Structure 1
């Protein structure tokens, strides 16, 4: 949220729970549109981000309803004093007027989608990236795949996806070379010794 960057740059009293409602607006926008409302990267200077919030206007899709846009605008208000900052504000929005909040609080609302626990619901690429960052990734993934396989052997779709993922992991095992800095250092030292000129003795001696 903007006040976080202001607090980082100028000090002061810091920030409060309004930043959480800003985060809710950012998440809702990204879920609806597929990208975030602001183009921010980790290497952006804080000063440029503060200027960004004061000069760049969030672009809302024309396909969204006026009520949806109004709710997002209130969640993404730069000034925290004018931002939606409590549940009562959100409940009063026109976009959510049809929600039965008592059912929401009691978890009685039926979800629109219930994922099948027996199948994969993500791009295997992300699984592979996670495994590369782990120590002994193939060992861990094989154990997890074996565990998943024993849970639900009757689901052919789950089995085929796990088999595909296992094939990808085996391909990585064959092609991915683990970098060994110590081994490289020793190799460079040996090469340096082999190309260095031999020592000569003084002819006078």
Structure 2
């Protein structure tokens, strides 16, 4: 349930600390809520910036991709599969560096074990997740995160995902689409970028870029100094505005209203939540910012 997901996320966050992950500092709770204090990132998420700007330049997208690849490699080194890499879950700090967040769907795999649940956000889910849901394979492994990174990297530069399908598509229809259709690439994209994306988006896990080491070996990234990237010495192309909110206030308000009622109160329906409470809290938060 919801409470179980929160506790699992908390357990994972306590095990990790990385320059390109939204890190947990401490937690506390009262009768109704549990509070998690994390890094404060004021640059907004990539979904907001894509909505504002349509798409990003290649050099800007490439740095985000490299920073998140370091975060993925760190998580995988601990056996943690994120399972929900997408623009909404990549936040920018005030300098413009990317940070991976939201481990709500993450899981820690035991050695030589596979994940089996139908988890993720559909446009970013690897084909083997759909295949597992259809009973075609026994499970899937850490390679699904590299697929999601490929989808996200493509979307940064195109303003759309490589495979577009109706929300009403079944898992079987989505899997067929991925296996039988070609990803459209703009004619002006360089050949090394095309090769790189085709490997990240390879439908067969065994043909996909599946590690940071494999990613570094590709000609597209071979000249990147990843040690410098990890040390945050690579200067971001884009620096978020520091004179206002880098988010859509109405969207954030709607999210707050939806989740503000404590889990146990929603479960037992002890009282009807008054939306004015959430409005008042949001107003106070905006005043502080």
TM-score in terms of structure 2 length? 0.47
1:1-54 Cα deviation digits (max 9, x unpaired): 011111111154301111111000000011110111111344321111121122
Long gaps (5+) in structure 1: 149-205
Structure 1 segments, 4+ long, off by >4 Å, are none
Q: Is the 8 A contact 2:253 2:279 kept in 1?
A: no
Q: Which has a greater percent of helix?
A: 1
Higher relative contact order (CA 8 A, sep 6+): 2
Question: In 2, Cα distance between the equivalents of 1:33 and 1:8?
Answer: 29
Q: Which has a greater percent of strand?
A: 2
- Give the RMSD, CA atoms, in angstroms: 2.0
SS in 1 for 2:220: helix
Alignment match, 1:162: none
Distance apart, 1:98 and its partner CA: 2.6
1:76-134 Cα deviation digits (max 9, x unpaired): 00011111101111112222233111112333222222324441223444335435535
Larger radius of gyration: 1
Question: In 2, Cα distance between the equivalents of 1:15 and 1:131?
Answer: 34
1:141-184 Cα deviation digits (max 9, x unpaired): 21012212xxxxxxxxxxxxxxxxxxxxxxxxxxxxxxxxxxxx
1:73 aligns with 2:214: no
Alignment match, 2:75: none
Q: How many aligned positions are there?
A: 148
TM-score in terms of structure 1 length? 0.65
Find the partner of 2:223 among 98, 103, 121.
98
Structure 1 window deviating more from structure 2 (5-14 vs 130-139): it is: 130-139
